[in-house]
Every structure is written in C-alpha cells, then in structure tokens.
C-alpha cells in the first residue's frame, strides 16, 4: 500500500486562498490519500484556527506535514532559530508529525549544528525535514550532502525531502542527486518538469515517457512516503493520481 500525501499547493492557488485549506481536507481524504501537506504560505482568512484545523485533520485520520517557506540557515550561516521556533509551535498546534523547510545557507565550518540539535530536543514529537528547493544555494547537491553528512556525524535527527523536479530549477543533475543523497531521503516530492517556450514548467505526472521522476521513484524504497506536488486540475483527479502511484508500484 502506497503512502501518498497531497500538498495543498497542488491545487489552484487562488481557489485555495479563497476557500481555505480546510475546505480541501474531505476531498483529499476521500481520494484515498495517506496524508496532507499544509502549506504555511497558503494560509488565508478563510482558514480556521490551527486547533480547529487539527480537529478536522484528526477526524479524517490524515497524517499531517507542515511545510513552511523558510530557510534553516540564514545568510550569515547561523540557525534561523526565531522563524524555526514559530514554525514548530504552529506545527505542534496543527498536530503535524513532520515539519518541512529548505536548507538555506549552510557552511560546514561556520554553521553550528549543535544549535540545531539543542533546538530539536525541545520538540521530540516533531520530525524535521529539509528539502532541496529551487535556489542555487538550497538546491545544490554539494551543499545538501555536506549538511546531511555533518548532521549524521553529530547525530542531529534531520531527514531529507527529495524533490524530484526542483533539481531542474537549481541547475543540478537529478541522477547525481539521487546517487549522492538517497541514503538521507525519507520523503519524496514527485513532480514532472518540462521546458515550454524556453521556460521550466511543472506539469502533471505521465508514465512511460522517460521522465526522471520515474527513475527517482524506482531508485528509492518502494514504501517511501510520496507527495504529489504538481498541478492537479481539476481537483477531482486527485484520486486518479493516487491510484497511479499504486499502479506504478505494481509495475516496478
């Protein structure tokens, strides 16, 4: 059985902002999803309090990931502790199990992993995930490898979200990223990136056309938690894409 998570940024942004993220919970649950990824950047006045959102998520028994567009390490290479504390407190109220951020500016000689370790000890119930984003610094294979290697050496409990499509935006090679980083990956964001009119565009997944998302998925454990992070239009197709993951498992 595939564990598939649906992030709220898979749906039309304006619709999510107008209706609120809570309005999509029932659709996601009824589509057979394992969980939901609540996006901090998509909160609007239409959303209820975090406590109310938590109750609705629990009612539909959805595993919850809280994603926030913040960088773990600031431009001065120090821990972004103030923003991180805000995010973790919000995630706690939301009932999230995983918190996802991007790497930011990590430097092995200047960034103090001990400060991150101390911070995380305050939240033993929450798992921190760091994702490769679309920036040239936070989506850089060498930077990410340096961070995860250092974290492993110092026993800092952090895991990686591998975004299969973001490597195109950060001008990195997907196959090399998979080779260098797969041992740290516990959460997979699936997206298909094509070039249209000279620009990179994220599009819905298609099977058997030789795109790298399938290579990435087949290069990681079958039971890894997967997120569908691409435009799902209309939103009623959510169930179809979740079933695609199950079929892909059968074909692998």
Q: Is 39 helix (H, G, I), strand (E, B) or coil?
A: strand
How many residues does this entry show for the chain? 252
Architecture, CATH, for domain 4-251 = Alpha-Beta Barrel (3.20)
Query: Over the stretch 8-54, which tens digit does the pLDDT of each residue have?
Result: 999 999 999 999 999 999 999 999 999 999 999 999 998 999 999 99
Q: Is 4 helix (H, G, I), strand (E, B) or coil?
A: strand
Contact yes or no for 189/216 (Cβ under 8 A): no
Query: Over the stretch 50-81, which tens digit does the pLDDT of each residue have?
Result: 999 999 999 999 999 999 999 999 999 999 99
User: Residue 121 has what pLDDT?
Assistant: 98
Q: What is the domain partition of the chain in residue ranges? A: 4-251
> What secondary structure letter does DSSP report for 77?
S
Q: pLDDT grade, residue 1 (50/70/90)?
A: low
Q: Is 58 helix (H, G, I), strand (E, B) or coil?
A: helix
CA distances from 5 to 15, 18, 28, 85, 140 (A): 19, 22, 9, 25, 25
| Model confidence, pTM | 0.95
Average pLDDT, the chain: 95
Query: Over the stretch 137-161, which tens digit does the pLDDT of each residue have?
Result: 999 999 999 999 999 999 999 999 9
Of the chain, the percentage scoring pLDDT greater than 90 comes to: 88
CA neighbours closer than 13 Å in the CB half-sphere of residue 99 = 27
CA–CA gap between residue 124 and residue 84 (Å, rounded): 15
């Amino acid at each position: 059985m595939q564990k598939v998570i649906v992030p709220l940024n898979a749906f039309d942004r304006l619709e999510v902002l107008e209706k609120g993220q809570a309005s999509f919970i029932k659709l996601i649950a009824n589509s057979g999803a394992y969980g939901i990824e609540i996006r901090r950047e998509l909160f609007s006045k239409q959303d209820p309090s975090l406590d109310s959102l938590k109750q609705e998520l629990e009612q539909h028994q959805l595993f919850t990931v809280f994603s926030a567009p913040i960088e773990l390490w600031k431009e001065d290479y120090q821990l972004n502790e103030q923003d991180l504390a805000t995010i973790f407190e919000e995630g706690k109220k939301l009932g999230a199990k995983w918190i996802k951020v991007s790497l930011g500016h990590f430097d092995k000689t200047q960034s103090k992993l001990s400060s991150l370790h101390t911070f995380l000890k305050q939240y033993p119930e929450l798992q921190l995930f760091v994702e490769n984003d679309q920036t040239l610094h936070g989506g850089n294979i060498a930077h990410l490898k340096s961070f995860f290697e250092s974290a492993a050496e110092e026993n800092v409990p952090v895991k990686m979200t591998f975004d299969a499509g973001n490597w195109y935006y950060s001008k990195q090679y997907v196959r090399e990223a998979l080779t260098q980083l797969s041992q740290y990956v516990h959460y997979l964001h699936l997206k298909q990136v094509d070039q249209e009119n000279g620009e990179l565009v994220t599009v819905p997944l298609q099977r058997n056309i030789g795109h790298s998302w399938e290579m990435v998925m087949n290069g990681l454990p079958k039971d890894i938690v997967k997120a569908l992070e691409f435009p799902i239009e209309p939103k009623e197709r959510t169930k179809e894409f979740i079933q695609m993951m199950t079929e892909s498992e059968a074909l692998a």
